[in-house]
Amino acid sequence: MNITLEQAMEAVKAAQKKAADIGTLMNIAVVDAGANLTAFARMDGAWLGSIDIAIRKARTARFFNMNTGDIGQLSQPGGSLYNIEHSNGGLITFPGGIPIKNSKGEVIGAIGVSGSTVENDHTVAEAGTKAVK
């Protein structure tokens, strides 16, 4: 199962709405089940450096079917996945990337959000995932 562009766009729009609601400017990326970019939007004035981070968060979340922040807890000094960020041409392992599942619980893609605190990034990403049925 693979996310459709229509589903990806719904996730982007829901994330954008949540970002506006909490007063932030976000970069929002959605990748498909193969970790390939499907949809992207940068809100006017959002950080330029977050374009790449949003895309990498989405890819990282799909690469391991895990929230990026969970990986980041394992990649700290002394952690079991220390410096995993050096793989795959560069991972981003702080919060803001979340796998997207369909109604059967299958991972069909992932969303990555960057542009504010990692807490806000995660909140906005979560709003995006909820828009996909």
**Please, which of residues 59-78 interact with a second copy by CB under 8 A?**
59-60, 62-65, 72, 75-78
Rounded Cα distance between 70 and 78, Å, is: 15
> How, if at all, do strands 37-42 and 107-114 pair?
unpaired
State yes or no: residue 49 binds a second copy (CB under 8 A): yes
- Among the listed ranges 83-91, 97-105, 125-133, the one in contact with a second copy (CB under 8 A) is 83-91
| Minimum distance, C-beta of residue 129 to a second copy, in the bound complex (Å) | 18
State yes or no: residue 18 binds a second copy (CB under 8 A): no
Question: What value, to the nearest 5°, has the Cα angle with vertex 36 and ends 33 and 126?
Answer: 65
Residue 93, token pair as written in the block: 């392992």
- Rg of the chain on CA atoms, in Å: 13
The site for a second copy (CB under 8 A) is made up of 2, 4-5, 8-9, 32-44, 47-53, 56, 59-60, 62-65, 72, 75-78, 80-95, 117-118
